Structure 1
Amino acid sequence: MDTSVIKLSHCEKDIFCFFVPDQCPECGMSFSGKRLEEAPVSVPNPFSNGHKVPCAFLVAPAEHTVLRDFDGQSDLHTGITNTNGIVYNYTRAGVQRETEGWERCVCVPLVQPDMFSLINQWDQYLEKFSSHQMWDPLCHSFDEETHNCYSFTLTFINCVLAAQSKPGLSKDRFTHTFVLPRIRRASKYMMLCREISQNHFHIVDSPKRSSRESPSEDEDSKAF
């Protein structure tokens, strides 16, 4: 389980830590009687338990390690959840249906909660799609470049879009619009946790000050 990250604002700085200190590590002033704007807030954790997010696209490091860390070095593996949190994912052995192992991953919800008709058909769509001979290793071999876990998940998404009479998504568009922003947040969150673990605090200029210096920064680059 990830340790919760807390953010405090003081001395025109943002102070990230795992606990609320008695005094500001920047100026030494006591935090007792601090103003409302200086109250600690929790930093959103970018990781989710994929088995608890129905009808979602999941990304996790390919290696099944205990931490499944997004270290920037690991190959990434993708999957699609059904309405019960079972993760369908394509490997060299064919389509796997996993009830565990995706407890810490990046999730992209695909269906709005009020799309009842699609939700009711989701499991049927996913099972039928996964049973197609296209994903049978005896008929089509896994290929790291052209026939892999990502092509499995994106092809399924586009099949559902087609069934809804909606235009499909290219690999580049889906990646840059839905996946990369979340991967960046996850990577920055991990870097932040490592920095705090090593130095107890991570201190940066407050957003107000930074925004004046870098007005062109997008939302993703300002995650922390």
Structure 2
Amino acid sequence: MTIRLTPEHLIGWSRGCNQRGRRGEEAKERRRKRSGTDCRAAEEEMEQSVIHLSHCQKEIFCFAVPEVCPSCGEELKGRRLQEAPVSLPSPFTDGHKTSCCLLVAPAHNNQDRDFTGTSDLHTGISNTKGVVYNYTQDGVRRDQIGWSHCISVPLVRPDMFHLLAQWDQYLETFSEGPAWDPVWQKFHEEDHNCFSFCLQFLNGILAMEGHGALSRDDFTRCFILPRMRRVSKYTTLIRHLQEHQYYLADRQETLGDRQEESVTNS
């Protein structure tokens, strides 16, 4: 599956912001009542642990180590494999367990919990306590629930103690600004939305650290798209395994990801 999440698709994110603002409280109540229903089921579906092992020059992906190799039929029990089976790390994160991250989550009206380039998405920024600040048509929300299944982009290196110590104050002060007060400036789906809030805050931090500003295009291409591609591969693999039990690939094919760095990494 190809993900094309360009700035033009950010209107999909703005629709997500709009939905969060207009029906935020109702959605929060529904979320409490819908434990175990469709949205949670979709998230749990993506949280299944995927096992990766190698045998007979094949990369094998499955939910449980099989007794025999699905490629050659050789018994695997008690035999040495080329590499020990490992669990693939999930690309999803509980946003409330993150610190100083930009978060991308499905909007409340995105019932399938999809992260595709055309689905409605919403963005926010976590403080050091996992509270997610996110902009909607009603202003800035400070969510303590609702971001347990999302994509995270670290914004601060762990050793940047001076910035970590001030992060919550910076985020709170920025959120109180008139640009995010609906009395002073209205939410706009195209150019004043949840992503605008996140990017303007990030660029303010970058300026304080002596770095140049990031455009929407640059930030999306460098930090969002790589994670979206990983999510796309992972969800495609999960759905294949649910239907076919195994996925086999030639040994030279890899699912490795580049090491992720924080945005403020110098």
Q: TM-score, normalised by structure 1?
A: 0.88
Structure 1 position 42 matched with structure 2 position 107:
no
Matches within 5 A, 1:15-54: 15-54=60-99
> What are the residue-to-residue correspondences of 1:42-191 with 2, within 5 Å?
42-63=87-108, 68-70=113-115, 73-191=118-236
Percent of aligned positions that are identical: 54
Q: CA deviation at 1:66?
A: 7.6
Query: In 1, are the aligned partners of 2:55 and 2:82 still within 8 Å (CA)?
Result: no
User: Partner letter of residue 158 of structure 2?
Assistant: P
Residues 1:185 and 1:12: Cα distance change in structure 2 (over 3 Å): same
Paired AA for residue 188 in structure 1? K
Which stretches of structure 1, 4 residues or longer, exceed 2 Å deviation after superposition? 32-39, 63-73, 217-220
Q: Deviations over 1:131-178 (max 9, x none)?
A: 111011122111111011111101000011112222111111111111
State the distance in 2 between where 1:130 and 1:9 align. Answer: 49
**Quick one: distance in 1 between partners of 2:121 and 2:192?**
15
Superposed CA RMSD: 2.0
Residues 49-73 of structure 1: CA deviation (Å, up to 9, x unaligned): 0111100000111126687343554
Q: Distance in 2 between matches of 1:19 and 1:219?
A: 23
Change (3 A) 1:124 1:113: same
Name the CA distance, whole Å, in 2 between partners of 1:64 and 1:84.
27
Residue type of the alignment partner of 2:249: V
| TM-fit CA distance, 1:101 | 0.5
CA distance change for structure 1 residues 153 and 104 in 2, over 3 Å: closer, same or farther?
same
> Which moved further from structure 2: 168-177 or 85-94?
168-177
Amino acid across the alignment from 1:197: Q
Q: Could you tell me how far apart the structure 1 residues matched to 2:82 and 2:256 are?
A: 24
| CA distance in 1: counterparts of 2:155 and 2:67, whole angstroms | 43
Unaligned residue ranges in structure 2 (runs of 5+): 1-43, 259-266
Moved more, 98-107 or 8-17: 8-17
Q: Tell me if structure 1 keeps the 8 A contact 2:110–2:120.
A: no
Task: Indicate the residue corresponding to 1:201 in structure 2.
Answer: 246
What amino acid does structure 1 have at the position aligned with 2:125? I
Report SS of the residue matched to 1:26: coil
Q: Does the 8 Å CA contact 1:61/1:76 hold for their aligned counterparts?
A: yes
Note the alpha carbon deviations across 1:20-44, whole angstroms, 9 max, x for none. 1101111111112433524211111
Amino acid at match of 2:214: L
Between the aligned partners of 1:45 and 1:197, the Cα distance in structure 2 is: 16
Aligned amino acid, residue 152 of structure 1: F
The one of the two structures with greater contact order (alpha-carbon pairs below 8 A, sep at least 6) is 2
